Amino acid sequence: MLTTLRKIVLQFSQEPELDVALKHLVTQVKSAMQTDCCSIYLADYQQQHFLLMASDGLASDSLGHTTIGFTEGLVGLVGQREEPLNVANAKAHPHFKHTPEVQEEELNSFLGTPIIHQRKVIGILSIQQRDARSFNENEEAFLVTLAAQLAMALANADKNIGVNYQEHRPFQQLTGIPGSPGVAMAPMMVIQPKADLQRLPLQKVYASVEQEQRFHKAVLKTRVDFEAMSLKLSGVVGQESLDIFEMYKQLLDSANIGHEVEEKIKTGWCAESALKLVIDHYAMQFEALEERYLRERASDIRDLGNRILFNLQQLSFEEEPLPEEFILVANDVTASMIAEYQHKGMKGIVSLTGSNNSHAAILARAMGLPAIMGINALPLNQVNQQPAIADGYSGDLFISPDNSLIQEYRHLIEEETALSEKVKAVAHQPAITPDGRPIELVLNAGLSAGFEHSQKVGAVGIGLYRTEIPFMNRSCFPSEHEQTLWYKEVLSAFPTQAVTMRTLDVGGDKALPYFPITEDNPFLGWRGIRITLDHPEIFLLQVRAMMRANSEYKNLEVMLPMISGVTEVDDAVRLINQAYHELCTELGQRIAKPRIGIMLEVPGVIYQLKELAQRVDFFSVGSNDLTQYLLAVDRNNARVANIYDYYHPAVLRALNTIAEESHKYLVPLSLCGELASEPAGALLLLAMGYDKLSMNSYNIARVKWVIRHVKMQRAKVMLSHALTLTTAKQVHNYLNEQLEQLGLGGFIRAGM
């Protein structure tokens, strides 16, 4: 039976058309279970009924037309109870509903089981037989197991909804990973790569000199393309975001890639084929890695390869005319796509692949473009020019939305637009409540040392500089001299304000290509401070470079990641002191000694704050990881992403406890994470007593505007009530109500 189950589910998943897949499914189940009829109904939550989609045994004319209400008949009862129903004589059951058009008069016994995906009944699978009998345990177990396995496949197959079913649905809603906040409402424009290495046939020509020349010319032209893209965006986003294109240029200059392409050409391959072989090799290496951040770099490698291929082939395309406004949709939205279309009316992006770590999502956030990533259930061949709403807050995509939904989101967009103008006016005003409570709003950074844009939007320093990002764009560990130059640029961006640099934080979802880490559970494994303490030669070199760079500016703060106990802090502080005394001796003078802080992201440290307060100068909560560890959920896993919620009462209470303990021991406290960048979250943190909030540059002015319009006393009332609530949904609803009452409806986090 197990083999039969696997075969049925596999064939269902591989069939591109849902109608065909369902037809094959019921026929296979009927045959495998040796019954007289098998049928499948799909739930339509707009019309509140189940629609008969396929059957082998019922009248064919009824398919796609017969509906059974959620509270009607045996099918409705299965959906209501959310459990199997096994009836020997269906017609005698009090819930039986006679439906003449399906012609089931000769069928007596009935076994139905719900198909449930993410706690929601999406369909009913049933079998019927002429004999009046109860189906046995094995038959019931088979149908239940099949329905459970079908649930995910059917949820994904929903992308190919048949014509008849589509007529019964006012709109379709799909959910992906929120990549960048905001709302876009416009037609979808599906963009295909102008050149695609993955579809390129391999060819040998044995003309190495000519092919090498073609390759070198294409590389030079591609470099010019990336410089032009960077220039187009230079007035739109900050330099830290433009460094995505610097990374592309570094890849172009990579001796490994160029050398390997040349070697392939010398063995007889044409330039295009040689490029494909090398790019595919590197992309597959990245895709095979466990760490999510590095897996996303495979997309960058393929994007680079396609750009070179385009110039090798010197292609020219007549693009489909673009509407004045559109949502860009692609299998893999890349940073270069965004650069190419950002001035042509693009209002948002939807990518079938990728996560919030992809460079497309990073660039979208910097530009204030709503983005949804990883929405793999979207059929590209069916949605071009379809009207849609992309909700970058919740990750929801609404295709062909109805009027009520359009009006709801239009109102939200209007509020956001009106508020955005007001927000700009306070960019250089202090972040202080009307009754005088100040808070510092600082920058999360790491992609580069250019922060001119961030200063324009009102950042007063850097709360988190991710030092691992420059490490990732190299083929070996950087020298102390190289690191010193990097850190000088960062420190000079805010010479009179604090710059907090986190020591190398790799492992988990981040790794270095030249320092691979293979673990069964990387998020709970060898990562952050655990790695650098095990390799003091790496740690000492980095903190020496930091302090050497700081000798001129004296604004450095050093932050230690992934701390789980006092021993790690003691060991790290000892190494920092060692590096400090070495540098003082080498330079022949006493240099500025940085303040040392730790990230609070491992839940266990909440119970050691007293001991930790005696060892460090400040605390900084990493709310994203703290939430992930407190709730034991991977926020990038679509199956459980709905559980990840930093408004969960347990998370809010933990954050409040940290604030109370920090104030008790007189330790300055900051927070880095998505919660800080949301107006409602920022108000709660302000009320808790956090001294500093660190976020991306796009959100600084928005959060500042809200803080300047809400009194501290009102924020404390909001916090006090929020801490009494028992579910995240209750918290969201309450905060939405409060923002509406305060006239801040445009700042409501959609989907709360």
Active-site residue set: 359, 672
Distances 157 to 14, 79, 100, 216, 580 between C-alpha atoms, Å: 9, 20, 30, 44, 60
CB 300 within 8 A of CB 257: no
Task: Please tell me the distance from the alpha carbon of residue 502 to that of residue 387, in angstroms, as a whole number.
Answer: 44
Structure tokens at 273: 């084929």
Comparing C-alpha atoms, which of 549, 552, 560, 548 is closest to residue 595? Answer: 560
Structure tokens at 408: 């709801």
Q: Which residues contact 152 (CB under 8 A, 6 or more apart)?
A: 117
Structure tokens at 547: 């302090």
Task: Please tell me the distance from the alpha carbon of residue 590 to that of residue 611, in angstroms, as a whole number.
Answer: 29
Would you call 175 helix, strand, or coil by DSSP? Answer: strand
What single string gives the DSSP state of each residue in 143-167? HHHHHHHHHHHHHHHGGG--HHHHH
Task: Please tell me the distance from the alpha carbon of residue 88 to that of residue 81, in angstroms, as a whole number.
Answer: 18
What single string gives the DSSP state of each residue in 49-86? EEEEEEEESS-GGGTTT-EEETTSHHHHHHHHHTS-EE
Task: Please tell me the distance from the alpha carbon of residue 184 to that of residue 364, in angstroms, as a whole number.
Answer: 12
Task: Please tell me the distance from the alpha carbon of residue 93 to that of residue 87, in angstroms, as a whole number.
Answer: 8
Using alpha carbons only, how large is the chain's radius of gyration in Å?
Answer: 29
Tokens 């709730």, residue located: 631
Helix (H) or strand (E) holding 121: strand 120-129
Structure tokens at 431: 């972040």
Structure tokens at 8: 């049925």
Comparing C-alpha atoms, which of 273, 277, 284, 220 is closest to residue 249? Answer: 220
Tokens 């509406």, residue located: 740
Task: Please tell me the distance from the alpha carbon of residue 296 to that of residue 315, in angstroms, as a whole number.
Answer: 27
User: Which residue type occupies 428?
Assistant: H
CB 245 within 8 A of CB 338: no
Q: Which residues contact 353 (CB under 8 A, 6 or more apart)?
A: 299, 331, 332, 373, 374, 376
Task: Please tell me the distance from the alpha carbon of residue 593 to that of residue 460, in angstroms, as a whole number.
Answer: 21
CB 371 within 8 A of CB 360: yes
Helix (H) or strand (E) holding 441: strand 440-445
User: Which residue type occupies 306?
Assistant: N
CB 74 within 8 A of CB 93: yes
Structure tokens at 132: 């009046």
Comparing C-alpha atoms, which of 112, 42, 127, 25 is closest to residue 73? Answer: 112
